[in-house]
Amino acid sequence: MPKKSAGRGGEASEAAWNLKEIRALMDVLEERQISEFEMERGGTRIRIKRGGLAVETPQVPLYGNNHSHVWPAPAPEPSATPPASGMPAATDAAETVEDVHLVKSPIVGTFYNSPSPNAPPFVSVGDEVQVGQPLCIIEAMKLMNEIESDSAGEVVRIYMENGQPVEYGQSLYAIRPSHKI
């Protein structure tokens, strides 16, 4: 960006930010419900984030130009993921890595097992699920992302509790497939 010529008093007409301008900018961002803003002026960069803790999240590409917020679950890894902290390990000898499909989180956010606080959960342990059936919602950056099952079968384990933070790739559900291929 070319620098503007000096005005009266030898100061550049494009000066760095002052506190009054920053406060006015914050008021406008709040009024318009803008959660993040970044700008550089006079060699000084300002970045404003509102609304809770700032968390760095990996960039997840949207599929095509369809901006729906339904995310397919990522493909399972060949090895088992340890259970979430505080959750006991499975003791069922029949439940091994080979006979369950792990549904993992495709994004970082907050796990919700029902569409609203007073609604019943999407699924419970023992429920039969179909491919494409909603399993949960993960809230990320104030967007509610519905996570669908990518495997048909019986839910044998739920790794997360309602309102718990979830990381990318973290196990959400263990599903015993209805039939093996």
What span, in angstroms and rounded, lies between the C-alpha atoms of 41 and 121? 49
CA distances from 6 to 13, 70, 134, 158, 175 (A): 6, 53, 61, 64, 68
Extents of the domains making up the chain: 15-49, 70-177
Closest C-alpha to 43, from 77, 4, 80, 92: 4
For the segment 103-140, what is each residue's pLDDT rounded down to a tens digit?
999 999 999 999 988 999 999 999 999 999 999 999 99
70-177 carries CATH number 3.40.50.10890:
no
Please check the confidence at residue 72 and state whether its pLDDT lies above 50.
yes
Q: How confident is the model at residue 97 (pLDDT cuts 50, 70, 90)?
A: low
pLDDT of 95 reads 45
Strands (E), the chain: 36-41, 44-49, 70-72, 101-104, 109-112, 128-129, 134-140, 143-148, 153-158, 165-166, 171-177
pTM of the model: 0.48
For the segment 8-30, what is each residue's pLDDT rounded down to a tens digit?
444 444 566 777 887 887 888 88
More confident residue, 1 or 99: 99
Closest C-alpha to 132, from 173, 178, 71: 71
Q: What phi and psi, each to the nearest 5 degrees, are found at residue 64?
A: 70, -155
Please, what is the average pLDDT of the chain?
A: 74
CB 102 within 8 A of CB 171: yes
